[in-house]
A and B are shown apart, each in its own frame.
Chain A
Amino acid sequence: MTQRHPFLMNFRLSVLIAGLVVLAVACKKEFDAPPVRTLPTGSVLTVAELRGLFTGNPIKFRGDSSVYAVVTADEQSGNLYKNVFVQDHTGAIVMRLVNPGGLYQGDSIRIYLPGTTLSMYQGLLQLDSVNVDNNVVKQATLIDKEPELVTIAQITPAMQAKLVRLQNVEFIQSELGSTYADAVNQSTVNRTLSDCQNNVIVRTSGFANFAGQPLPSGNGSFVAVVGQFNNDMQLFIRDISEVQLTGERCDPIPEPCDPVASVSQDFATGTSNVDLSLECWFNVATAGSRVWRGYSDAGQICAQATAFQSSNSSDVAWLISPNLQFTSGMSLSMRTQYAFWVNGQVPFKAFVSTNFDGTNASTANWNEITGATFANSPTHAFNTWIPSGQIPLAGFLPDGYTGSFVVAFRYTGSGPNSQTTNYRIDDVVIQ
């Protein structure tokens, strides 16, 4: 091969040219990190000095200034949302965040004040409008502040936002069996903590990861941060593991009622428009906050439940009888009436249970009492007592049952969904 074809030469040339084009294969463009802005420190305030600046009107910070503090309570448990508590050796304050997230318990931070506002919300001094991205520089992590040991009596406005530990405290008896908050409706609930001398509110969000847990019944140590709402001091749990109430109560729970042979209840000890509290009876809500109350029907007190004007999307109220020893031939009789009937709502049902533990209505197995005459529209007129007749109970219990049982009256309604029938019961006789 002595002579090359001219086309072949052209071909090779173009292959070469084009090859060079292709060889410059695309590299991924790397972006340089831009020079990062730093927040000037400016004048440094302690938390106490920061709090001292407030004289009644909101203060919007402009000039360079910073506060150093440690995060004592964060949003991790869900009990706090867009609220974070910080503290230094001089004091503590709650920060309200523009956006949730980004600060964790133990973070040692510098708060750059410009852009934030110091203001009072219903008696609680707060540093508002904190944008974590723009106002916070983290200095160190895992710095744990030791809670301050106090008594309930010492929880005053001066303690605002501080991390505290209470010893020898317990939840009051009437709330035992309830949960920290309403996890079903995700609504916030206040409970009462006591040292048998003073009481303080424990406020828990329905979004907290422990909202649905029952309150512990013992006495012991309790760690929380201090909040305030007008004149009420409030405690917020930051982590449920710091609630250790397992010791002996200062206000002992009376012995559980022994099973009785019969029940006859005319609610005469109740007070109109006051939640019923009857010896050996249980009056609890498994959703919402409504329970059975006294109602005066022409001067005679009966029991009434309603979701009227309730803001809970669901209210379920249980009135549970004392434990009864079953004997053959036992029956229930009572009378019922309704008012303001709402079509489509099934406001009332009655049940029996053999495994109600005396505290938690939602974990018991409930067998509905059917075939009884209970007031309802349009069968019956409103505000009219309807006798149930004698309802034999053996059919709702296991065959040949000889143990104890309870009878429960359940009201179900919803304020927002206008399921607001008033339902009343009276003269309950089980024998």
Chain B
Amino acid sequence: MTTFRRFGQLILSALALSAILSIEAVGQTDSTLVAEPDTTQNNAPRIPVITVTADDLDSELGAQDISGILQSSRDVYTATAGFNFGTARYRVRGYDSRNMLVSINGIFVNDMESGWATWSQWAGLNDVTRYMEVRTGVSASRYNFGGLGGYTDLNVRASNVRKGVRVSYASADRAYRNRLMVTASTGMRKDGWAFSFSGSRRWAEEGYAEGTSFDAYAYFLAAEKKFNDRHSISFSGFGAPMVQGRQGVAVQEAYDLAGTNYYNPNWGYQDGVKRNARMSFDHKPMFIASHRYTPDEKTNWNTSLYYTFGRDGLSGLQWFDAQDPRPDYYRYLPSYYTPSLSVNGQNDPEQADILAEAWRSDVNTRQINWDQLYFANGKNLYTVENANGIAGNNITGNRSKYVLEEVRADPTRIGINSVYDKALENDAHLTVGGSIHRQKTHYFKVVDDLLGGDFWLDVDQFADRDFNDTLVSQNDLDQPNKVVRKGDTFGYDYDIQTRFYNAFAQYEKKWAHVEVYGGGEVTYTAFWRDSRLRNGRFPDESQGKSDTQDFFSYGLKGGVVGKLSGRHFISVNAAWMTRPPIPRTAFISPRTRGQVVDGLTNESIYSGDINYIIRSPKVKGRATLYYTKMMDQIWSRSFYHDEFRTLVNYSMTGVDQVHQGVELGVEGKLSSTWSATAVLGTGSFRYASRPQATITRDNSPEVFDEERTVYWENFRVGGMPQTAASLGVRYNSPKFWFAGVNANYFDDMYLDPNPDRRTAEAIGTYAESDPQVAMLLDQTKVDPGMTVDLFLGKSWMIKRQYRIALNATISNILNNQDLRVGGFEQARYDRTDTNRFPPKYSYLFGRNYFAMLTFSF
């Protein structure tokens, strides 16, 4: 009897724990983040784009394959945010990827320079990566200290992948159209070995948007050997080579002229074939060796060593002394000739009509005219005198006016991670761990295609225009007038080195009705720039190793869970932490020099939430109130500034943000076959300070302005709906099929404010009543919208051994093509006419589907 009671208690507490932990099998809530679009024509450091979207989440809402224990504890809010809100770029609590810590076998894998988790690194390995644990917000974790927004741990040990063989084919009309996936795993065999393999291909000649393409493979190999009850060793290696033709964003005028909100300015015809200028090339394999040591039932000691390297490239057009080849350049749009307000603009309605007609009727106006680029390059005879720094070395040939370059950010990273956890007496649990990571990212550009020319001369076009000095414009002073050809490195060539060491500890304790945990972390971070080239703009500070920036930071967290009954819980979590600025934004212009933003300092954060959780047989749900404040962040961007008439580096310090809101999610069983869900997330994510901006010329040490106050307080953080709601019903047939429908609503999405427009300098002498003041200051709110998604599935068992499953989702079944899900104010602006550089938007795909047939045994 006693044994039985104890067993019952164990089950109860396990349930409670899992409820509180909100262990989540599928909701990759941050996987839908899309990077800040490149607004400055290749001048800002590129933020890698996470290309995994809800596409890759499978249509497994049916969750037929998800193991029972995880299924039982699914959190309806997190699942809905992942599946139904993902396409609208909803972010849980408004956090960006940097706040979502991702680990694999316990190793933290967020990029050390950007802080972002690069899900594309293992995209296409869904059969393997579905074994993940996700928690939202500050929480207890036995893997690491956890991120502000929570953590996700993927377990890719061979023994963890479900035994059997699984072959699936999926058809879709999103980023890709076909996916083939094969996975085979032995499970832990009697001889102590486990093996697992997975491979896939995802491809599309052309994706949903015109001119996009997709060609990706993925591979995964893992072996694990359990020597005895105490020791096991596992090895996992995976990678996902991917080549993708990207979709661009455009201004509304271009969408209207092209007649579709999916107009893609990135492609054009070359000899009758569609060619995309923005191709991403990504392949960063990762290898992990892990050792698990379990000296007794209560102790776990996991140590992992990893290595990852590879290529991260994005191609784009580059040009010199020639017209802008991008079809949607603002001067090629009719609006350039019909200014709304501007005193500077040209008013020429006739020319505007001619352009509008050309946009509508001529694909070579609307899209990149590749043949024309070849044509111009093929007859531009030029003599480079004293080429490559050698006096008298004259090279004559067709100098390319336009080239396709590939911007590379190739990381190499190695590290070790070790975590020890032990169940102590009296229901207490201790976890301690630490890790060491080193990352080097190699930034450079290569000539991808000379587009019919013979060579490219490696000089900086902005510097050339600004200084009229042939030395200043050199990108490589040690080899002036450098002639580069296909495959050659040019422009810049430097490494960003990052070091990260941390140690953490966590203590958990349980009583009958109360559980508590507390944890702390200390970290050391250092980074510096090391450049191979000395350029003409900064002859003294562009080459070699920059000063090392180092930071010591810490975090504290704690929480309490109160069990009101076996079905009702209340929990409270809180954290206080500091963290270093990320290297991506710390350098004001890493392509030209090692200078960092003045006054670099640790950011500090406090965050907390209060949750009420219900787990009854008929109703499951959670209600959460959260508040987070992030302080002393930095923000930096490079863009063309119309007042200073040149490319500037704009950096702000003292950027504070507040994220607060509520999350409600409830799932009710209406009968044995019908269930319904209701989810609401609404928050206020806003800037909460007046940052100070420094504006530096990109080309020289000249500082245009310092301590420029940006009046940013209470402007909303842009880029995601701050309110999202969903209602869903689902029918589960006892005959192994299911179907469901969800209606989703999105609201309160804003465009991230351009800081410089919110300054006294931008307002200048305008009287307060001047409409231009409001045009400069007002934040743009995007229209709300709704979508309806349908999903269904059926499975068959054959001979009790083979299983066939068919799953399908049809998203946005009402074909709403007017829902803006992304957008930004251009950094470049004209203070006399804000419509001259209007915002750019991207739209949710119209009706689309994903259907998958799976065969497993």
Residues of chain A at the chain B interface (Cβ within 8 Å)? 7-8, 10-11, 14-15, 17-19, 21-22, 24-26, 28-29, 31-37, 39, 76-78, 99-102, 104, 107, 132-134, 136-142, 209
Bound CA span A18–B167, Å: 10
Bound CA span A76–B465, Å: 9
B242 touches A99 (CB 8 A): no
A21 touches B381 (CB 8 A): no
Interface size on B, residues (CB 8 A): 48
Bound CA span A32–B401, Å: 18
A37 touches B468 (CB 8 A): no
Also in contact, A21 and B201, with CB within 8 A (given A26-B241, A28-B281): yes
A17 touches B241 (CB 8 A): no
Q: Which residues of B sit under 8 angstroms from A37, Cβ to Cβ?
A: 371, 375
Q: Which residues of A sit under 8 angstroms from B374, Cβ to Cβ?
A: 33-34, 36
CB of B270 within 8 A of chain A? yes
A205 to chain B, nearest CB (A): 12
Bound CA span A24–B180, Å: 13
Q: Which residues of B sit under 8 angstroms from A25, Cβ to Cβ?
A: 217, 241
B242 touches A26 (CB 8 A): yes
Also in contact, A31 and B371, with CB within 8 A (given A15-B197, A21-B180, A25-B241): no
Selected A-B contacts with CB under 8 Å, 22 pairs: A18-B198, A19-B199, A21-B180, A21-B199, A21-B217, A25-B217, A26-B242, A28-B281, A33-B374, A34-B371, A34-B374, A36-B375, A37-B375, A99-B323, A100-B321, A102-B380, A102-B401, A133-B322, A138-B379, A138-B382, A141-B381, A141-B383
CB of B518 within 8 A of chain A? no
A367 to chain B, nearest CB (A): 28
CB of B452 within 8 A of chain A? yes
B217 to chain A, nearest CB (A): 6
Residues facing A in B170-223 (CB within 8 A) are: 180, 182, 184, 186, 195, 197-201, 215-217, 219
Main secondary structure, interface of B, reads: strand
Contacts A17-B182, A133-B372 supplied; 13 other A-B pairs, CB < 8 Å? A14-B197, A18-B197, A18-B198, A21-B201, A28-B243, A31-B273, A31-B275, A34-B271, A37-B371, A76-B468, A102-B321, A133-B322, A133-B323
- Contact partner of A34 among B180, B182, B270, B381, CB < 8 A? B270
A31 touches B449 (CB 8 A): yes
A26 touches B216 (CB 8 A): yes
Q: Which residues of A sit under 8 angstroms from B199, Cβ to Cβ?
A: 18-19, 21-22
CB of B396 within 8 A of chain A? yes
- Contact partner of A107 among B180, B381, B857, CB < 8 A? B381
Q: Which of A10, A36, A76, A136 has the most CB of B within 10 A?
A: A36
Residues facing A in B418-452 (CB within 8 A) are: 449, 451-452
Bound CA span A22–B375, Å: 39
Q: Which residues of B sit under 8 angstroms from A29, Cβ to Cβ?
A: 243
A141 touches B382 (CB 8 A): yes
Residues facing A in B152-169 (CB within 8 A) are: 165, 167
A404 to chain B, nearest CB (A): 37
Bound CA span A100–B180, Å: 51
Q: Which residues of A sit under 8 angstroms from B167, Cβ to Cβ?
A: 14
CB of B370 within 8 A of chain A? yes
A416 to chain B, nearest CB (A): 10
Q: Which residues of B sit under 8 angstroms from A138, Cβ to Cβ?
A: 379-382
A11 touches B165 (CB 8 A): yes
B271 touches A35 (CB 8 A): yes
Bound CA span A242–B710, Å: 49
Minimum CB distance partner of B195 in chain A:
A11
B184 touches A15 (CB 8 A): yes
B396 touches A141 (CB 8 A): yes
Bound CA span A134–B451, Å: 16
A20 to chain B, nearest CB (A): 9
Residues of chain B at the chain A interface (Cβ within 8 Å)? 165, 167, 180, 182, 184, 186, 195, 197-201, 215-217, 219, 241-243, 270-271, 273, 275, 281, 320-323, 370-372, 374-376, 378-383, 385, 396, 401, 449, 451-452, 468, 857
Minimum CB distance partner of A8 in chain B:
B186
Q: Which residues of B sit under 8 angstroms from A102, Cβ to Cβ?
A: 321-322, 380, 401
B322 touches A99 (CB 8 A): yes
A7 touches B186 (CB 8 A): yes
B219 touches A140 (CB 8 A): no
B217 touches A22 (CB 8 A): yes
A92 to chain B, nearest CB (A): 21
Minimum CB distance partner of A138 in chain B:
B381
Bound CA span A18–B198, Å: 8
Also in contact, A140 and B381, with CB within 8 A (given A22-B199, A35-B271, A101-B321): yes
Q: Which residues of B sit under 8 angstroms from A35, Cβ to Cβ?
A: 271
Bound CA span A133–B145, Å: 59
Bound CA span A101–B382, Å: 13
A131 to chain B, nearest CB (A): 9
A31 touches B270 (CB 8 A): yes
Q: Which residues of A sit under 8 angstroms from B857, Cβ to Cβ?
A: 10
Q: Which 10 A-B pairs have the closest CB atoms?
A: A34-B271, A138-B381, A101-B321, A133-B376, A209-B468, A18-B182, A18-B199, A141-B383, A99-B323, A14-B184
B468 touches A10 (CB 8 A): no
B184 touches A26 (CB 8 A): no
- Contact partner of B382 among A10, A32, A104, CB < 8 A? A104
B452 touches A21 (CB 8 A): no
Bound CA span A307–B16, Å: 81
Q: Which residues of B sit under 8 angstroms from A26, Cβ to Cβ?
A: 215-217, 241-243
Bound CA span A100–B383, Å: 19
B197 to chain A, nearest CB (A): 5
Q: Which residues of A sit under 8 angstroms from B452, Cβ to Cβ?
A: 33, 36
Q: Which residues of A sit under 8 angstroms from B380, Cβ to Cβ?
A: 102, 138
A33 to chain B, nearest CB (A): 5
A309 to chain B, nearest CB (A): 18
A34 touches B396 (CB 8 A): no
Bound CA span A136–B381, Å: 10
A382 to chain B, nearest CB (A): 25
Q: Which residues of A sit under 8 angstroms from B322, Cβ to Cβ?
A: 99, 101-102, 132-133
Minimum CB distance partner of B273 in chain A:
A31
Minimum CB distance partner of A27 in chain B:
B243
Q: Which residues of A sit under 8 angstroms from B375, Cβ to Cβ?
A: 36-37, 133-134
Also in contact, A14 and B372, with CB within 8 A (given A33-B452, A99-B323, A138-B380): no
- Contact partner of A136 among B201, B323, B379, CB < 8 A? B379
B401 touches A133 (CB 8 A): yes
B182 touches A137 (CB 8 A): no
Minimum CB distance partner of A417 in chain B:
B765
B275 touches A139 (CB 8 A): no
Bound CA span A136–B216, Å: 43
A352 to chain B, nearest CB (A): 32
Q: Which residues of A sit under 8 angstroms from B182, Cβ to Cβ?
A: 14, 17-18, 21
Bound CA span A36–B271, Å: 9
Q: Which of B201, B216, B321 has the most CB of A within 10 A?
A: B321
Q: Which residues of A sit under 8 angstroms from B385, Cβ to Cβ?
A: 142
Q: Which residues of B sit under 8 angstroms from A133, Cβ to Cβ?
A: 322-323, 372, 375-376, 401
Bound CA span A102–B402, Å: 11
A128 to chain B, nearest CB (A): 15
Q: Which residues of A sit under 8 angstroms from B449, Cβ to Cβ?
A: 31
Bound CA span A118–B83, Å: 64
B276 to chain A, nearest CB (A): 10
Q: Which residues of A sit under 8 angstroms from B186, Cβ to Cβ?
A: 7-8, 11
Q: Which residues of A sit under 8 angstroms from B217, Cβ to Cβ?
A: 21-22, 24-26
B382 to chain A, nearest CB (A): 6
B323 touches A10 (CB 8 A): no
Bound CA span A10–B374, Å: 53
Bound CA span A34–B275, Å: 12
Bound CA span A191–B357, Å: 46
A354 to chain B, nearest CB (A): 31
Q: Which of B199, B201, B449 has the most CB of A within 10 A?
A: B199
Q: Which of A10, A19, A21, A35 has the most CB of B within 10 A?
A: A21
A2 to chain B, nearest CB (A): 16
Q: Which residues of B sit under 8 angstroms from A33, Cβ to Cβ?
A: 374, 451-452
